[in-house]
Structure 1
Amino acid sequence: MEPFITLTHYDIPQELELRYGSWLDPQVREDFVHYAEICFRHFGNRVKFWTTFNEPNVQVILGYRKGTYPPSRCSMTFANCTRAGSDIEPLVAAHNIIRSHLAAVNLYQKKFQEDQRGKIGIVMNTIWLLDPVVFGRYPREIKDILGEDLPKFTKDDLKSSKNGLDFIGINQYTSRYAKDCLHTTCELGQGGSRAEGFVYSNALKDGLPLGEPTGVNWFNVYPQGMEEMLMYATEQYRNIPLYVTENGFGENNTGVLLNDYRRVKFMSNYLDALKRAMRKGADVRGYFTWSLLDNFEWISGYTIRFGMYHVDFDTLERTPRLSASWYKNFIFNHIAQSKDNEDA
């Protein structure tokens, strides 16, 4: 077993939220670096893979634009609340997260990496935010749209961004159509936001879904999206090593079966797409399925199940599904095949 550690997954100490508003204040950068240094110092002899954040792009959208995740800040017309400014606060929170990431990576690379011989990166859901992490600058298009509302990087940030990560983690489940609402006409409520470049995304086009719908409202099965996303990341971000840090199939509680043949089909097709991307040149170093066990899925609670092992939430009994046996055999067969190729 090789630990692959995430420092931050959406959550932050409530004390920092109360004291200065957490990700909305530049002070969070210093506190995050202090926290990261403690982790590097005490666990770095055992941890060789670090990620600073998991899906900060989702975190800022849900926490600061739509308000559906903590700290639940949003404003009309983005959601039914009036606690903050949904146009500006996601930019501020995202900027402070990026600055915190760059500072933590810079610390690790200068102080710990040579002795501990580890790697450090960041994990993104397959939407915006990677350009400033990799290149130390925002895309020209978003600068044109946001103007002076777009936060600025300091000289220290720009120095840190020259080696801003050793790898990129990608969480890939589903795909969407994208519509340009800046230069074409969109229906009322479909304009996205300035922070997202006035892009409207949806899984439907002309009433037809992109891929097979599942029991999860945001999730359609579209294996081609895996290959396309990996190739985009390879071409856009200088062939930086990639890890697929999440990929899995979810079902509603009511539709869960131990014979989860749909999950097996999903995994087989998405892994085939991953293999195609690798053959085209994508430097994919690892793959993680979500998830080993049914668990607590954020605001969906226990109503959605992603596990290869069924969990009885009353007794905590764990029962392997068909996908667990399939994946075990898949791994075993490919390890054996790799050894045969090496021997040959």
Structure 2
Amino acid sequence: MRKEEFLKEHQDLFHKQVSRSDFPPDFVFGVATSAYQIEGGSNEGGRGPSIWDAFTRKKGTIIDGSNGDVAVDHYHRYKEDIELIAKFGFEAYRFSISWSRIFPDGTGTKVNEDGIKFYNNIINSLLEKGIEPYVTLYHWDLPLHLEESMGGWLNKEIVKYFAIYADTCFANFGDRVKNWITINEPLQTSINGFDIGIFAPGRHENSSVEPYLAAHNQILAHATAVSIYQSKYRDQQGGKIGLVIDCEWSEANSDKIEDKVATARRLEFQLGWYLGPIYDGEYPEIMRETLGDKLPKFSEEDKNLLRNSKPDFIGINHYTSRFISHITETTGGPYFYKAQQIERIAEWEGGEPIGEKGASEWLYVCPWGLQKLLTYISQRYNNIPIYVTENGMDDEDIDAPLDELLDDKLRVRYFNGYLAGVAQAIKNGANVKGYFAWSLLDNFEWCNGYTKRFGLVYVDYKNGLARHPKSSAYWFKRFLKGDEEKTSKKED
């Protein structure tokens, strides 16, 4: 890909100072977290163990040998953290409920009232501050009992248990929660959990079959929860429900037809894998052709369920982009990528990186990718309402003076560029309704433990988990107040 001509087309995203006035008045700005990454309190309040509690105990699974037992202690400090959300002017907060805090063994036989109380306290505290809760039912922390007793997401029976859990959450919280997300990033659960094995439950023994079975059951669990909400709660509670999927933007590495076809194929393996069944009642044709019998089939009953439980919105988690080339021979690596016959490229034609580098090896700053992704989804999927439910970048956890650690200039450039991309997508006709920055706090970053920091707020792991807002948090505060002139001067 030629750098100069490509970036010239998107230069406004790198140089324009974005402002609140670039977005519709009713556009929602929020910040996001997930339960296992921030809560801690793993043995408190009747919470049962999750697959991540077990996975982090296995030697070598987490780079720094850490776990989420305490995390950043949001379980005890949620009021302090909600004060921070309010301080910086965010209108919404996306968080997840820990399934095993509601049903310790996941089966739905006995509700844990302490868990209900904990999330009621969070919801009520948010509403007192004028912050709208956006609640994710499943962000990867499956109750351990369901994994050990029945194989977790590999067993279709799990759909029944997820339905009971979702119904219980709607019944207990839906009078105040008006925005529900069923499942977060089922692709990551499927590939990293059942193909590569770097996420819980850490399986890779049958990577050509199990990821697709886990995904299949997550899709049915999502549709069942949507059906329950729409038939039983929507009229009374008046809320909305959707699904969050993740997608890095794919750009053809050349004008060759095979690279363009490979790029379309890549997007079908990311977005179409989940949105195809939801909108068309079937997996994308290219996935069916490529995977054959490895891809589960939907029964007529399943297809009826999918047809009659359309989500109200789609959440998109997006961080970075890649150029895509077609390749015919693939060696090594995850089966998921080999099946796609693609090469994911993070360099321009001259060998320069595709964008400025985050701490994670996969993360480059490419704001044009989010603009293109949002436009693509709107055109491909009937202009469905979209929320950007995660977007952010990370720093390494390093020893340095605190004032240096808090002055996160690259993260400020990242947010400015990506928000400019969202604004441009809206101008191009994309039906984008909101944006959630990832993340409110530095936290447990899954297999990377505490070695990567995505937070707007620095958490001092060595000194009582003290919270210290970074420059990016103050940038959002000025941005959300519409103080464009001060924002521009401060960050120049």
The one-letter code sitting in structure 2 at the alignment partner of 1:310 is Y
Identity value in percent = 42
Matched AA of 2:456: M
Contact 2:406 2:469 in 1 (8 A): yes
Corresponding residue for 1:144?
289
TM-superposed CA distance for 1:112, in Å, is 0.6
Residue 122 of structure 1 corresponds to 243
TM-score (norm 2): 0.63
| 2:465 equivalent in structure 1 | 316
User: Once the 2 structures are TM-superposed, how far is the Cα of residue 87 of structure 1 from its aligned partner?
Assistant: 0.4
Letter in 1 for 2:200: P
Equivalent positions of 1:7-22 (< 5 A) are 7-22=137-152
Quote the residue 1:268 is aligned against: 416
Determine if the alignment matches structure 1 residue 156 to structure 2 residue 323: no
Aligned length, in residue pairs:
323
Matched-pair contact (CA < 8 Å) for 1:133–1:164: yes
Among 175, 185, 193, the residue aligned to 1:63: 193
Letter in 1 for 2:214: A
In 1, the alpha carbon distance for the partners of 2:194 and 2:184 equals 16
Q: Match for residue 106 of structure 1? A: 227
- Bigger drift between 127-136 and 12-21 goes to 127-136
User: Which secondary structure state, in structure 2, belongs to the residue aligned with residue 97 of structure 1?
Assistant: helix
Do the aligned partners of 1:134 and 1:165 also contact (CA within 8 Å) in 2? Answer: no
Structure 1 position 327 matched with structure 2 position 476: yes
1:294 aligns with 2:446: no
Task: Decide whether aligned partners of structure 1 residues 190 and 9 sit closer, same or farther in structure 2, where only a CA change above 3 A counts.
Answer: closer
Residue 210 (structure 1) aligned to one of 330, 339, 354: 354
Give the Cα–Cα distance (whole angstroms) in 1 for the partners of residues 194 and 468 of structure 2: 38
The whole-number CA distance in structure 2 between the counterparts of 1:194 and 1:319 is 40
Letter in 2 for 1:91: Y
What displacement does 1:195 show? 8.2
Contact preservation (8 Å) 2:208, 2:294: no
- Alignment of structure 1 residues 180-191 onto 2, 5 Å: 180-181=326-327, 185-186=328-329, 188-189=331-332
- Deviation of the 1:155 alpha carbon: 2.1
Amino acid paired to 2:216: H
What's the secondary structure of 2:482's corresponding residue?
Answer: helix
Structure of greater relative contact order (alpha carbons < 8 Å, 6+ residues apart): 2
Secondary structure of the equivalent of 2:331? coil
Corresponding residue for 1:252?
Answer: 396
CA–CA distance in structure 2, aligned partners of residues 194 and 4 of structure 1: 32
The two structures, once aligned, show a CA RMSD in angstroms of: 1.9
Distance 1:7 1:295 in 2: 19
SS in 1 for 2:387: strand
- Identify the residue that residue 31 of structure 1 maps to in structure 2: 161
For structure 2, list consecutive stretches of 5 or more residues without a partner in the other structure: 1-130, 248-269, 485-492
Residues 7 and 50 of structure 1 are in contact (CA less than 8 Å); yes or no, is this contact kept in structure 2?
yes
Q: Is the 8 A contact 2:207 2:335 kept in 1?
A: no
Aligned to 1:257, what secondary structure does the other structure show? helix
- SS at 2:287 equivalent: helix
Residues 59-98 of structure 1: matches in 2 within 5 Å?
Answer: 59-74=189-204, 84-98=205-219
Aligned to 2:432: 284
Q: Is 2:346 the partner of 1:226?
A: no
Q: Is the contact made by 1:192 and 1:200 (CA closer than 8 Å) also made in structure 2? A: no
Per the normalisation by structure 1, the TM-score is 0.89
Aligned partner (choices 289, 307, 313) of residue 167 of structure 1: 313
Deviations 1:149-184 (A, max 9, x none): 221112232122223211000011101122333xxx
Equivalent AA in structure 1 for residue 323 of structure 2: Y
**Amino acid in the other structure paired with 1:86:** S
Which residue is equivalent to 2:341?
A: 198
